[in-house]
Amino acid sequence: MRQKFTIEAEARTEQGTGASRRLRHAGRVPAIVYGGKSEPKMISVNHNELWKNLKHETFYSAIVTLKIGGESEQVVLKDLHRHPVREAVLHMDLQRVLADVLLRVRVPLHFKGGDVAPGVKVGGGVVEHLLNDVEVECLPANIPEPFDIDVSALNLNESIHLSQIKLPEGVELVELKHDNDLAIVAIHVPRAVEEEPVVEAAATEVPAANQKAADPKAAAGAKPAAPAKKK
């Protein structure tokens, strides 16, 4: 059963860098909710409460109940800005959900069977996850659970593509709508360890048996060495 999430929010009127900075210092995250049949609304949410939800993988593709005062509406997470070092959430975008309108969300991929795949056990390869999630288009009621990708039958240098994912009825992969059948996982030979530079061996004397004999003609034409002068 899909987990349900709720976000408590407050409306905000002040905008700009200074206002957002003050909100963050107070432990709140500036956000915006848009879409549907209503105008965009500026809101803020408690950072710690949001952080707890973000620890759940399914939160990123879930229908979330957003409560503002005494009203509530259904939304999905569309964008999240984090601090590059501390990973604190700096801003969040939420999109309103209408039951009869298609929406796009990213659904996680779960890989299994890599430890028993022939390409690993026999071929000595390694499993490489090329994608961690995929974007789907569907009605809100049809948002799927994370996709299980079984790689237990993969041989060395084989891969699984988007077109091989079993999709529930009413769900389409956005990339396939554009004829972009990306590979999502593959097994390949691990990268070779960089070879150490080869040190050339020191030159050695050539054995006498392998040396060329002197040319007798050249020897005959050679001038004798001048005798050493007596002191």
79-117 tens-digit pLDDT: 999 999 988 999 999 999 999 999 999 999 999 999 999
Q: Are 93 and 109 in a shared domain? A: no
With the C-alpha atoms ordered 151, 154, 156, 161, is the resulting torsion angle positive or negative?
A: negative
What pLDDT is stored for residue 115 in this prediction? 94
Q: What is the mean pLDDT of residues 225-231?
A: 50
Q: Are 93 and 135 in a shared domain? A: no
pTM, whole model, 2 decimals? Answer: 0.75
Q: Is residue 211 part of a domain?
A: no
Q: Are 172 and 128 in a shared domain? A: yes
Task: Give me Rg for the CA atoms of the chain.
Answer: 35
- Which of 49, 65, 97 is the last residue before a domain boundary? 97
d(CA 75, CA 6): 10
Q: Is residue 215 part of a domain?
A: no
d(CA 163, CA 184): 10
Is residue 138 within 8 A of residue 176, CB to CB? The reply is no
pLDDT greater than 70 at residue 35? yes
Q: What is the CATH number of the domain that holds 130?
A: 2.170.120.20
Q: Is residue 203 part of a domain?
A: no
Backbone angles phi, psi at 52, to 5 degrees: -65, -40
Q: Are 135 and 184 in a shared domain? A: yes
Domain count within the chain = 2
The residue type at 8: E
Q: What is the CATH number of the domain that holds 56?
A: 2.40.240.10
107-126 tens-digit pLDDT: 999 999 999 999 999 999 99
- Which of 45, 64, 97 is the last residue before a domain boundary? 97
Q: Are 78 and 144 in a shared domain? A: no
Q: Are 86 and 149 in a shared domain? A: no
7: number of Cβ within 10 Å: 23
Q: Is residue 200 part of a domain?
A: no
Q: Are 119 and 64 in a shared domain? A: no
Q: What is the mean pLDDT of residues 168-177?
A: 97
Q: Strand 159-161's sheet: what is its strand order?
A: 126-129, 183-188, 159-161
Q: Is residue 111 part of a domain?
A: yes
* pLDDT > 90 fraction of the chain, expressed in percent and rounded: 76
Q: Are 39 and 82 in a shared domain? A: yes
Token pair belonging to 180: 């972009």
What pLDDT is stored for residue 1 in this prediction? 63
Pairing of strands 28-34, 89-96: parallel
Q: Are 24 and 73 in a shared domain? A: yes
Q: Is residue 128 part of a domain?
A: yes
Scan for tokens 């990708």, then name that residue. 149
pLDDT greater than 60 at residue 217? no
Q: Where are the beta strands (DSSP E) in the chain?
A: 5-11, 28-34, 41-46, 64-68, 71-82, 89-96, 103-112, 126-129, 133-138, 147-150, 159-161, 172-173, 183-188
Q: Are 123 and 84 in a shared domain? A: no
119: number of Cβ within 10 Å: 22
Q: Are 136 and 152 in a shared domain? A: yes
Q: Are 35 and 92 in a shared domain? A: yes
pLDDT greater than 80 at residue 147? yes
192-215 tens-digit pLDDT: 644 455 555 444 444 444 444 445
What pLDDT is stored for residue 15 in this prediction? 85
> Residue 220: pLDDT band by 50, 70, 90 thresholds?
very low
Token pair belonging to 116: 């028993």
Q: Is residue 124 part of a domain?
A: yes
- Which of 61, 79, 97 is the last residue before a domain boundary? 97
Range of the domain at 58: 5-97
C-alpha count within 13 angstroms, C-beta hemisphere, residue 207: 2
What pLDDT is stored for residue 231 in this prediction? 46
Pairing of strands 71-82, 28-34: unpaired
Q: Is residue 198 part of a domain?
A: no
Mean pLDDT of the chain: 87
